[in-house]
Amino acid sequence: MKADIGQPPLLSVRGLGKTYRVGEIEIHALRGVDLQVAAGELLVLLGPSGSGKTTFLNILGTLDLPSSGRILFRGRELTDLDERARTHFRRHHLGFVFQFFNLMPSLTARENVALVTEIATRPMAPEEALQMVGLGHRLDHFPAQLSGGEQQRVAIARAIAKRPELLLCDEPTGALDSATGIVVLEALRQTSREIGATTLIVTHNAAIAAMADRVVRFADGRVVSVTRNPQPVEPAALSW
């Protein structure tokens, strides 16, 4: 699944900067990031904590606003959307997977997925999404009744059930042991491939980079390198 040079990129980031003020101190979280992402690509964003990779992901997810620069999604400006349009963007184009799962404890696995399919335009059935992550047998379990890996797979099912074009994952294995983490990454890789979602995975775990089409390294608020994996490996072959 390579980027097709002939097509316009799905996502085009130019000169993205973000400055926070914490009390008296200015923090430059991002200092001019440029990145082009083609449809269907899987990118791993690597970097130590504080390197800006999560800020970058949050801005792509319209959770945060940049201080400078532009993001074009399918040629449409994302950075000057109002609150309403940002909600619309998240609702229809975006899937999120978080480090701490963020499931609704009061909803079962099926209902957690339905939470998203109810408001999406052409979703798959919640059961189908859960089937895809291998949880077809745990549909009616509440989060408190599921293991960490299972909870994260529910979160993946929830993210892909609406068939998003862009899937953003923030440290999806950060709260899991390595064996469970690999199962989760397999689910992620397989589902994103099936629905053809462009996937960005933020992690500080360099081992995960091997499954990416391209690896983007962050340091000190800048992209320091972008390398293409000639031969991405399947998650099952990863270890850390």
Partner 1 sequence: MRTLHRKLLRDLWRMRLQALAIGLVIGSGIAVFIMMLGAMASLEATRDAYYAQSRFGQLFVHAERVPAAVGEALERIDGVVAAETRITGFATLTFADFVEPVTARLVSVPERGGPVLDRLVIRQGRGLAPDGRDEALVNEAFAEAHALRPGDRILANINGRQRRLSVVGIALSPEFVYAIPPGALLPDDRRFGVLWLSRSTLEAAFDLEGAFNDAVLFLAPAADPEAVRAAVDRLLEPYGGLGAYDRSIQVSAFFVDNEIRQLRTLAAVLPSVFLVVGAFLLQAMCRRMVDTEREQIGVLKAFGYADRTIATHYLTLALLIGLLGVVLGLLAGSWTAGRITELYTQFFRFPLLRYRLEPWVYAVATALGLLAAVLGAWRAVRAAGRLPPAQAMRPPPPPAYRRRGVLGLAVRGILDQPTLMLLRHLLRWPLRSGLAILGIAAALALLLAAMQWRDATAYLVQKEFFEARRMDFTVGFFDPLAPAVVPQMARLPGVLRVEPRRSLAVRFRNGNRVKRGSITGLAPQGRLRRVIDVEKGPVLPDDQGVLLSRTLAAILGVGRGGRIIVETLEDRRRSVELPVSGLFSTYLGIPAYASIALVDRLSGIGDRVGGVDLTIDPARRNAFFRALRESPEVAAVASREARIRAFETTMAETIDIVVAFYVAFALLLTFGTVFNTGRIALSERGRELASLRLLGYSALEASYVLVGELVLMALLALPLGLALGWLLAVWIIATVDNELFRMPLVVFPTTMAWALLAVMAAALVTALALARRVFRLDLVAVLKSRE
Q: Least Å distance between CB 33 and partner 1? A: 17
Q: Closest separation between CB of residue 64 and partner 1, Å?
A: 6
Residue closer to partner 1 (CB basis): 162 or 189: 162
Closest distance between partner 1 and the C-beta of residue 222, in Å?
Answer: 20
Nearest to 43 by CA among 160, 167, 183: 167
User: What are the residues binding partner 1 (CB under 8 A)?
Assistant: 58, 61, 63-64, 83-84, 87-88, 90-92, 94, 96, 98, 100, 102-108, 111-112, 114-116, 118-120, 140, 142-145, 158, 162
Q: How far is the CB of 131 from partner 1 (least distance, A)?
A: 18
The nearest distance, CB 58 to partner 1, in angstroms, is: 5
**126 versus 235: smaller Cβ distance to partner 1:** 126
Residue type, 220: D
74, burial (CB in 10 Å: exposed 0-12, middle 13-18, buried 19+): middle
Edge-to-edge strand ranges of the sheet holding 11-22: 25-37, 11-22, 68-73, 76-77
C-beta closer to partner 1: residue 122 or 239:
122
Q: Is 240 helix (H, G, I), strand (E, B) or coil?
A: coil
* Through-space distance between the first and last CA atoms of the chain, rounded to whole angstroms: 25
Specify the length of the chain in residues: 240
CA distance 97 to 103: 10
How many CB atoms are closer than 10 A to CB 165? Answer: 19
Q: In terms of CB distance, is 66 or 235 closer to partner 1?
A: 66
CB of residue 6 to partner 1, shortest distance in Å: 31
Amino acid identity of residue 181, one-letter, is: G
Least spacing, CB of residue 98 vs partner 1, in Å: 6
